[in-house]
Structure 1
Amino acid sequence: MNMNTVWAVMLLVCSQWAYSGDIPTQHNTDGQAVELEQQARRHLVFMDIFASYSGHGAELQWQQLPQEFTRQYPVLWVQPELNITREQVAEYQQLFPDMRPMVVDAQLQWMQHFNVWSSPYHVLLREGEVEFAGDYAALRQHLKLAPKVDPITADAMPTADTIEGFDYHYVQAGDTAPSAVVTTMTGEKIDLASWYQQNQGGRIVFLDSLCPMPHFPGCEQELQQLSQTLKHSSQGWLGVMNGFYVSQDIAEAFLQRFDLSLPVVFDQNNQLFGRFGVLSTPYVVEVDADGKLAQRQSLAASL
């Protein structure tokens, strides 16, 4: 079930929700209690952290709001506890360190209280009372701001500016591919610059051992196709495994489960993900014999 389906199901339930009773107290990801009724003003942004990985996160909307407003209404990011783990949230905040404070909405208590059925969704509170609730366009209208194209619906390319604090570089077709000496999970050392030449190019596939998960729709089928491709391909392939929140044992079990026979680097701290500018999986970067990036696309599109 993908996130659009999940939100559609939630919509059927939300018709029975309303602002009533005390606002439940929750704890943010830093362990601090959050009592909204004790705060003068607050801007709640209900979000989906996985949208940020594709460059279409709720933070893009917030960044377009006037600084005077963001000072008067301090933001509080709210991630529904829906098909997500605390480990995934912790990884997200390592990649997006400015996304604090954040509350993981336990048992969807705040979604129910504020009648939220989509994301991004904005709620303005004053002395614990709802001053406004709605989407981005409605928020701009409420603040008497000029209409503006929603940056989430715009076909924006992720840039380094959207991931402050993370060594992230979006390498485009025609750019020189990053070079480094890496060690595979079997202990083999590979100099990427030499590997490009020896293989007359090559394909680097970025993987995440959490597949299958709701935010990786269709990943099982893609990996099954990749397994068959690897068995019949004469082209050089190198795997890069997301190293956050999992151990190498889990990564090895993942490779065995999907019968993926290729050298794989366990990307500790996701350094290669950052150097190639990859934010989603499974994803393929193709490099030509001259060490230039030839193409980058989802695994499904490359097979």
Structure 2
Amino acid sequence: MSLIKLLLVPITIYLSMSAQASTQEYIFINIWDEYVQPTSLPAPSAPRVMLQPDINIDDASLEQFKAAYPSYGNIKIDKQNQLMLQFSVRQTPMRILVENGKVIQREQLSTATVASKEEKTNTPLKTLAGTPFSIETVNSQYRVLFFSDSLCPFQHIPACEMKIEMNNHLAAVSDYPVLTIIKPFYVDEQSAYAYQKRFNIKHDIVFDHHNEVFSTFDVRELPYWLVQDKQGKVVYRGNQPPSLD
């Protein structure tokens, strides 16, 4: 090999490495959304940095999220949303590919449906005490369902501790049965037992294994109350406890 060719080889390698180093991939996500509906992450196109918007977040919450989901181990807060503003990112999840400081590609990422960490089985609905639970059958004049999340007190569930306390009071004084329904996303039934102990729940709890109860009543907000009459018809729903009347 000639001297010129020998000199050209390291130069070519250096230029190739420089080109790669000048390209950066940014993934902008909101961890509170990730707890509810995870993002389908594509294979990296360049060295990847994951960023959390500097909104409703602190370092402790971010570390808790990273501990729960190690695949997001390098996520950091986009302090004062500097990169979001620089790259005109207005929603998450978003993928931005930057070359030499200029955006060459932007992609709105899709989300993946995750119902539960548990395997799909024909698990019948029942309370933690083992009593069968029916969505349609109400064995009293009324029944109160309190929809909650065992991840409370995370920030994506506003005022959850206060509302759990309100529901505990309601259950203690109500003439009708009150049941807590626990969301299954990212958790298993053991988390419902931990929730029961942590918040000193005295009434029945149902772990909604495959999101059946949440889906049937189209519950999209937490914490949330719903009241059924003896025919199973919904006569009240809202984010405040129902009146005892």
1:206 correspondence with 2:147: yes
1:234 correspondence with 2:234: no
Partner of 1:115: 83
1:286 correspondence with 2:227: yes
SS of 2:206 mapped into structure 1: strand
Partner of 1:154: none
- 2:171, 2:35 → 1: CA distance? 27
Contact 1:181 1:192 in 2 (8 A): no
1:223 correspondence with 2:195: no
Determine which of 7, 21, 28 is the counterpart of 1:46: 28
Counterpart residue identity of residue 48, structure 1: N
Contact 2:152 2:161 in 1 (8 A): yes
Partner of 1:188: 131
Mark the CA change 1:130 to 1:231 in structure 2 (over 3 Å): closer, same or farther: same
Q: CA deviation at 1:262?
A: 1.7
Counterpart residue identity of residue 132, structure 2: K
Q: CA deviation at 1:236?
A: 2.2
1:260 correspondence with 2:201: yes
Q: CA deviation at 1:224?
A: 1.2
Determine which of 181, 192, 211 is the counterpart of 1:270: 211
SS of 1:231 mapped into structure 2: helix
Contact 1:123 1:131 in 2 (8 A): no
Counterpart residue identity of residue 244, structure 1: F
Contact 1:243 1:268 in 2 (8 A): yes
Counterpart residue identity of residue 28, structure 2: F
SS of 2:220 mapped into structure 1: coil
- 1:194, 1:183 → 2: CA distance? 13
Partner of 1:99: none
Counterpart residue identity of residue 161, structure 2: E
Deviation readout 1:94-144 (Å, 9 max, x if unpaired): xxxxxxxxx8472527x3595337963667545353339xxxxxxxxxxxx
Deviation readout 1:160-211 (Å, 9 max, x if unpaired): xx988578xxxxxxxxxxxx9621111111333222xx22231211121221
Deviation readout 1:201-229 (Å, 9 max, x if unpaired): 31211121221122222211111121111
Q: CA deviation at 1:234?
A: 0.7
What is the CA RMSD across the aligned residues, in angstroms? 4.5
- 2:49, 2:212 → 1: CA distance? 26
- 1:236, 1:129 → 2: CA distance? 60
Q: Taking structure 2 as the reference length, what is the TM-score of the superposition? A: 0.59
- 1:46, 1:283 → 2: CA distance? 29
Contact 1:49 1:79 in 2 (8 A): no
Counterpart residue identity of residue 136, structure 2: A
Q: Which moved more, 1:237-246 or 1:182-191?
A: 237-246
Contact 1:181 1:191 in 2 (8 A): no
Q: Taking structure 1 as the reference length, what is the TM-score of the superposition? A: 0.49
Partner of 2:45: none
Partner of 1:12: none
- The count of aligned residue pairs is 196
- 2:102, 2:96 → 1: CA distance? 6
Q: Which of structure 1's runs of 4+ aligned residues deviate more than 4 A?
A: 35-39, 51-55, 76-79, 86-90, 121-124, 162-167
Highest CA radius of gyration, 1 or 2? Answer: 2
* Residue ranges of structure 2 left out of the alignment (5+ in a row): 1-19, 40-47, 105-109, 116-122
State the identity as a percent.
22
